[in-house]
């Protein structure tokens, strides 16, 4: 089963929950992993099983990036809050960079996430 990573900044977590509810059936076709708060929030709200790594500020973004590099993650949905600075911005950039380097589909907003999940390519 392919793995899909879920990450959302605090200002985007409720959007991630709404998205996960809407696409729960499709998300069940993946093994899910997410940063701690995002994973717990989505799992609690939807009943989906989401493996938790550390929270973003504690290195969860880096853990997901490492899994991308290792070929263990097929898709990343990272709902970014572009209007607020984050102390772990270098880690965020690492996820974006490794997805680009390893040609892994990456959605940073709901429109792109929807396109990815409704695509016949995944």
81 annotated active-site: no
> Are 4 and 73 within 8 A, CB to CB?
yes
The DSSP string of 40-85 is HHHHHHH---EEEE--GGGTHHHHHHHHHHTT--SEEEEE--TTS-
Task: With beta carbons less than 8 A apart as the criterion, state whether 61 and 49 touch.
Answer: no
Q: What gap in Å lies between CA 47 and CA 20, rounded to an integer?
A: 10
Of residues 10, 61, 89, 91, which has the active-site annotation?
61
- Could you give the residue numbers annotated as active site? 61
């Amino acid at each position: 089963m392919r793995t899909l990573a879920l990450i959302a900044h605090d200002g985007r977590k409720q959007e991630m929950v709404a998205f996960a509810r809407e696409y729960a059936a499709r998300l069940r076709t993946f093994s899910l992993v997410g940063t701690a708060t995002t994973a717990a929030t989505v799992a609690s709200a939807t009943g989906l099983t989401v493996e938790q790594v550390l929270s973003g500020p504690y290195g969860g973004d880096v853990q997901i990036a490492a899994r991308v590099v290792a070929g263990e993650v097929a898709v990343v949905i990272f709902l970014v809050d572009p209007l607020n600075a984050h102390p772990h911005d270098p880690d965020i950039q690492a996820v974006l960079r490794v997805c680009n380097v390893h040609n892994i589909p990456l959605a940073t907003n709901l429109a792109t996430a929807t396109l990815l999940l409704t695509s016949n390519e995944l």
